[in-house]
Structure 1
């Protein structure tokens, strides 16, 4: 009993700890998760998933994969993909996925001599990339917006596409022999069961999400309940229909208009992250290094073909006559790592086929994990170098977004620009935004409270800090909460509430101390401005003036970096720094 308890606790500790390490190092979480899982499993024997979960291991992994695929399908919203990158992304997700599938299946069959049904299944599994591995790389590389948008949406969209392809392959092919034969009847019944249960689950969940008697956290629990119930119901009707059900359920919820699915964002952010970590620790702990090593040079050749031939071929075909510049096409070809969804689907199908005694089933997991490790390492090294060599990588964001455009806030934005900073202004009040335009300020028109409004916007590339300055405390709280989710808590600073306290959201999220100090409420700053004080750029603060920010030159010679001042310690002055103050 103690061994099982320690083992389960260790899985959770390692899963969360590896993700915290990844966040600190700004690397894909899959890198430490893979390393820690293998060390804790095959190398040291500290974690034995089969001993911990016994016969329930396969079912537990299947349910976890279903939840992850549901989360991925929630991102498939038609209206979220628009503009000039739409065509390229759709071609990459459709034609590019097909090219990858066919080429990968042929390469696996030729290089590793596995049965054709297994090769086709592996080809479908390695289609996927995924936001859990792509987004941390994009955060580190900081490519130009067009490349970032294409890679982000390809990663989001191709996850369920690859999962659907793998599920279809798994249910449509006969794995009993070395040839390829279709099981049309069984496949059709499986798809019907999955589609029916997925739609039913969404229809049951939507009234619960609209219900006024359920608290937000209870709606998160209701979502989890409905997803697991739909998965189980579909699997009871037809083996392996559960994954289809969760994908369909996510698609239905993402594209309906009756209920706001942003209510379940906590489900995606908290439970999804923990589940991904636990799942990948368990999966990587099942990998035998001897099996991976036994694949030998053919496995290395497979990874080389995928990154040097297949990915460039898919990008070239999908961006032909698209208007995407050659340099950007080259960078698109240099980033397509495989991630957690590939690992989890490989484990589910590998265990299922091994139980059936299918020839070659034991090769699925080591081959896919080799592809995951190889592509992550290759792209982690090559993609940043390629981005810099092609001139498509941004430096650290240094700009400022001033939220609120009262007269004193417009004066602040003007002074920041005068000091050499890149500044944009956003206001919820049209008359303030119009006044900012008249004064020559750059005004942001995007709805900052929209779902995902900033994460795929030029703001995310250029803005190093957000200064929330409106005189509406309730609005400030909402803005702080949303912008902290989108951009990170450290980049969002807010004035204290009218009574001098930090914003509630700021306290809950442990943000920086109040912007400009505890006494610098919007009302106090407006009063000082109305009495004749103005924001000035000075070398040192005169007596009685309120210090607002330090503006500092950057090593790359770009826009100056702004360090807003709070009640916390001010940055040590450097030669060339200038100070912004509010004073007479």
Structure 2
């Protein structure tokens, strides 16, 4: 029994607080979050111990025997969250390079990692096989932010994205199966007994994972579970599935929950997106806590146990094994030399590798494999160097190879109609790239003739996930005539782009009392909408009516001699300001409570009545 008290309370607060703070700081700095989370753990643990004589956070001492099961449950949720992202239908429709990286890249990379771990790092063959499976997988939680940072073309982004999503659960399953074989052998069983135990554990894990997934899907499909309880029930089911599998056959819980996630992901559940987002939220804080705990629990002696051969392995693995694997797997797939080189260099390891390595290594030490003690620090160093290097090199490398889609930020404009096409023309004059999406090829005809990039298809479909490549866009404007549809689009893309970057037109047309109308409880709640463009009461019907009455968009550039104050004095009290483009290429969608920028060189776009010449005094004005 452990003693609870202020130290334990402070430990829990420091772990959760530092982990979430590291994620927030990474978002603000656009750094890889995994680096800062690991750094926070190292600072609170071994670094603090070196400086002050004892660690500020020592999870093993604070939680005692409860630390292992706590980490095990957290890893179970993380693996389930990884499994629930893999939809086999999406893989079937993926490109040839993606399928090759999955079906050829993983086994080739695994073999290369095993050879490097054994001959360079000096690990035993069985430990090399276990850790090699984990290190072969790239982490989707690390790769996806890097794709947004580098502005890559869709083909390369698709390869990196789906490699991480698909190989993550495959690598975890492979590592767990190898681990079970090692554990059975360490317990003194011969190869026949160990093989039987492995098969038994795999069957138990697979049966429970499939049973829980199929049962939960059936319950959801038949309406046996109310909507508010679905996400909490999934979380509870993951914990129960993991615990039951481990009770029936030791260390098979990870297999069970990974298969559980795969079954749920491929069950065509209507509420799958809500569950994914709930699980992402839970997994986010668990990931932060697990990283801080694992890093803080490392003793200075653990890090000092790493020698030159271990660091040489990291260099060989990142600079030789990964590029050769990608080159062999994608040979003849259509990727050119520059694209192959980029994919070969960019391969950051992620959450599953670190969390599973720490948990599995501790389990092996318990059964007498003392040589497994080096696994956690070795994996941490590999992850840290790969993520740190990729995080800061991906954008310069993409530019060096000529693969980065450089240029100003891009807007996704949903809904092709005369008003939105007029806005697109004004954006083009202001050098703001725009993609117009609509389900009607006829409505997109004018956009195509004007030279705009278009997306034909439903933006809410599964296909849009990889066809649109949302990482290319910095903001979205839903401007269709259907206010409810606009709100649904904003809800769908809000978690991806950020709630502050998804906009829609006002749901009502009217004078100054529009705010009261929009607060009507019968209307779509503001929490279920995007941010309002221009102002409340300026809805689609009114804008379309004004368009047919001759209103048009006007672009005006601010300057030292024509500042914002002069511009606002010219346009009056209620200008229909739409977008501001800053001199650096960034843009801001405007509306109530969002004042336009004041920097000279800023281009302001507004919707103006015919014959409006009040801005003719502006020295720099785009037509």
The verdict on a shared fold, with TM-score over 0.5 as the criterion, is yes
Give 1:407's aligned residue. 418
Q: Structure 1: give runs of 5+ residues left out of the alignment.
A: none
Question: Structure 1 residue 293 and structure 2 residue 271: aligned?
Answer: no
1:431 to partner: Cα distance: 6.6
Give 1:21's aligned residue. 25
Secondary structure of 1:225 counterpart: helix
8 Å CA contact retained: 2:212, 2:241? yes
Give 2:232's aligned residue. 221
Give 1:348's aligned residue. 359
Question: Structure 1 residue 564 and structure 2 residue 589: aligned?
Answer: yes
8 Å CA contact retained: 1:547, 1:565? no
1:163 to partner: Cα distance: 0.5
TM-score by length of 2: 0.85
Give 2:315's aligned residue. 304
Question: Structure 1 residue 508 and structure 2 residue 527: aligned?
Answer: yes
Secondary structure of 2:456 counterpart: coil
Distance 1:469 1:529 in 2: 14
8 Å CA contact retained: 2:438, 2:457? no
Give 1:273's aligned residue. 284
Q: Which moved more, 1:521-530 or 1:534-543?
A: 534-543
Give 2:205's aligned residue. 194
Distance 2:474 2:519 in 1: 21
Secondary structure of 2:607 counterpart: strand
Give 1:35's aligned residue. 39
1:514-529 → structure 2 map (5 Å cutoff): 514-529=532-547
Q: Report the count of equivalent residues.
A: 577
Give 1:135's aligned residue. 144
Instruction: Give every structure 1 segment of 4 or more consecutive aligned residues whose post-TM-superposition deviation is greater than 6 Å.
Output: 177-180, 502-506
TM-score by length of 1: 0.90
Q: 2:15 aligns with which of 11, 14, 17?
A: 11
Q: Structure 2: give runs of 5+ residues left out of the alignment.
A: 49-54, 509-513, 558-566, 611-623
8 Å CA contact retained: 1:70, 1:250? yes
* RMSD over equivalenced CA pairs, Å: 2.9
Distance 2:386 2:243 in 1: 34
Distance 2:78 2:524 in 1: 28
1:64-463 → structure 2 map (5 Å cutoff): 64-81=74-91, 86-173=95-182, 175-176=185-186, 181=191, 183-210=194-221, 212=223, 214-257=225-268, 259-395=270-406, 397-427=408-438, 432-433=443-444, 442-451=453-462, 453-454=464-465, 456-458=466-468, 460=470, 462-463=472-473
Secondary structure of 2:82 counterpart: helix
Secondary structure of 2:455 counterpart: coil
Q: Which moved more, 1:291-300 or 1:255-264?
A: 255-264
Distance 2:472 2:302 in 1: 46
Instruction: Report Cα offsets for 1:550-569 as digits up to 9, x if no partner.
Output: 564866xxxx7654332211
Distance 1:502 1:577 in 2: 33
Distance 1:75 1:169 in 2: 24
Distance 1:106 1:441 in 2: 51
Distance 2:392 2:148 in 1: 14
Distance 1:468 1:439 in 2: 20
Give 1:530's aligned residue. 548
Alpha carbons of structure 1 residues 101 and 270: separation in structure 2 relative to 1, 3 Å: same
Instruction: Report Cα offsets for 1:209-263 as digits up to 9, x if no partner.
Output: 2354744331100111111111111111100111111111111112223654223
Distance 2:185 2:390 in 1: 33
Give 2:64's aligned residue. 54
Distance 1:172 1:102 in 2: 18
Distance 1:461 1:136 in 2: 8
Instruction: Report Cα offsets for 1:440-488 as digits up to 9, x if no partner.
Output: 765422322235834x344535433322223433222211111212322
